[in-house]
Structure 1
């Protein structure tokens, strides 16, 4: 979880450094990640052939949702700051908690909801000093909200699918699907595929290796051991890491209120995870021991 949080915190920095369209960044990010994963996919070929038609349909939908997330959220960083965009992204657990309740009847404890509330307040503190009233900021905020809803749907579908298939295979198929969606989008929009300087290609590779391999793939793997709500709560650490990196690498200034918000985010995250751990222990104690 900690490795994943640090890794995805670099995502917004790399995106800010790039001048390429968000759809091109997203396409090569997912394409390069898929190429890195393919040599290790052979052991999962049997599981791929065992997938049902419904599974392939859900994998395709998950890929579309992931592509939509990258397109909207990466696009938001062209209009607003790292702190504002990642602050809105931290609302992801709210959408997932609602979706998990509606789709899977998954309930959360009062302690978990308290932790979520503390973390959300902290995230608001982080972005408070950076949210403006300009048209650009508003556009960026709306794009980030759309990207948040899309990734919530992606994770909820993933929670269902990784219960029946290896998370590695799930990640690979979804990444290829999302890359194909970006390819069609760029083709229809007339966006060039190859006319980019070497610096941009280096950023595309960094986006694939750091936040995708060590971030999204790790979070997909964690879906085998934790709910989508719990995994998404760990993504709340991204605004803290991203804001610190933006301060160090991009010169984006942070106020005392924003630093305090970072402390609240991590505190809320700790409360949520502790509540989930207590719940898991109670369930384990309630199960009869096999003798």
Structure 2
């Protein structure tokens, strides 16, 4: 939940900054990678005998997804409201079950599916309200939806590639790969790459350290130990936190009426999934009873 709260601040720093979206994505990733390099070096010295080229390849693939997610989300954030962009980009539970089944063999439980349906109702309320209110906001919602698909794939790959000895040996190469891709795309996709560092450095630093180093790192670590759908549904709470922050820090971002019923449904979905008894998967090993596929030999079950 601390990671979720840290991620929720990203939209505030993005709204404060005027740096080009592609360049800003590369800068936040570079800040995160550099900040975490000492932890990578420490773990590398301890585990280097077990690290193979496959580990770096498996970190590079989700790194590409993360770079594209950051770029599209920053674009979407600047087209729509704080609450809409944060909710839409965290609707990963809507699509994550299919990705988890395909990439990890992890099937959602009945309780997780119920929570997903309730969260989907919140999405419907928000989407219909925006479609009727503002075409510009609606286009921003669509961009955030595309960014959400990239985020879901990135998190699912984090679940699949949890064989890295430590989370830092996975994340630091991932962040460097994502940063390199964002910087490579900057001259191709950006019209203005100038940066007023006297104004921008607090927002770039905050974006790199709080939602990236703290937020994304903790969520990736959670994907190593918890079921993927549980992490995805918990992440949707960012919507409520970001809405409150937007109301307090950005007066022009007061939530629309649709924020309130959508928030209630998101909170209900979160409560349903986190209250799932931790012994359920163990007590009922049959996949048909729990909705989970039997783990492969030598693979962590991910139960709590």
After the TM superposition, which residues 242-281 of structure 1 pair with which residues of structure 2 at under 5 Å, given as runs?
A: 242-251=242-251, 252-275=253-276, 277-280=278-281
CA contact under 8 A between 1:167 and 1:221: conserved in structure 2?
Answer: yes
CA contact under 8 A between 2:11 and 2:82: conserved in structure 1?
Answer: yes
Distance (whole Å) between structure 2 residues aligned to residue 228 and residue 269 of structure 1: 14
Structure 2 equivalent of residue 169 of structure 1: 169
2:220 is aligned with 1:188: no
Distance 1:193 1:53, change over 3 A: same
Distance 1:189 1:126, change over 3 A: closer
Compute the TM-score of the two structures, normalised by the length of structure 1: 0.88
Distance (whole Å) between structure 1 residues aligned to residue 6 and residue 128 of structure 2: 24
Distance 1:87 1:147, change over 3 A: same
CA contact under 8 A between 2:7 and 2:215: conserved in structure 1?
Answer: yes
Distance (whole Å) between structure 1 residues aligned to residue 35 and residue 132 of structure 2: 40
Give secondary structure in 1 for the equivalent of 2:275.
helix
Q: Which runs of 5 or more residues in structure 1 are unaligned?
A: 285-291
Distance (whole Å) between structure 2 residues aligned to residue 216 and residue 224 of structure 1: 13
Q: What does the per-residue CA deviation read over 1:127-153, in whole Å, with 9 as the maximum and x for residues that have no partner?
A: 654445654223312211211111111
Q: What does the per-residue CA deviation read over 1:141-183, in whole Å, with 9 as the maximum and x for residues that have no partner?
A: 2211211111111111111222333111211111111000011
Distance (whole Å) between structure 1 residues aligned to residue 245 and residue 131 of structure 2: 18
Distance 1:111 1:24, change over 3 A: same
Distance (whole Å) between structure 2 residues aligned to residue 172 and residue 189 of structure 1: 25
Task: Measure how far apart 1:126 and its partner are.
Answer: 5.1
Give secondary structure in 1 for the equivalent of 2:65.
helix
Structure 2 equivalent of residue 206 of structure 1: 206
Structure 1 equivalent of residue 108 of structure 2: 108
Compute the TM-score of the two structures, normalised by the length of structure 2: 0.85
Task: Measure how far apart 1:212 and its partner are.
Answer: 1.1
CA contact under 8 A between 2:112 and 2:229: conserved in structure 1?
Answer: no
Q: What does the per-residue CA deviation read over 1:189-242, in whole Å, with 9 as the maximum and x for residues that have no partner?
A: 466656323221110000011111221001111122112222111111011111
Structure 2 equivalent of residue 216 of structure 1: 216
Task: Measure how far apart 1:282 and its partner are.
Answer: 2.4
Distance (whole Å) between structure 2 residues aligned to residue 42 and residue 257 of structure 1: 47
Count of residues in correspondence between the two structures: 283
Q: CA RMSD in A?
A: 2.3
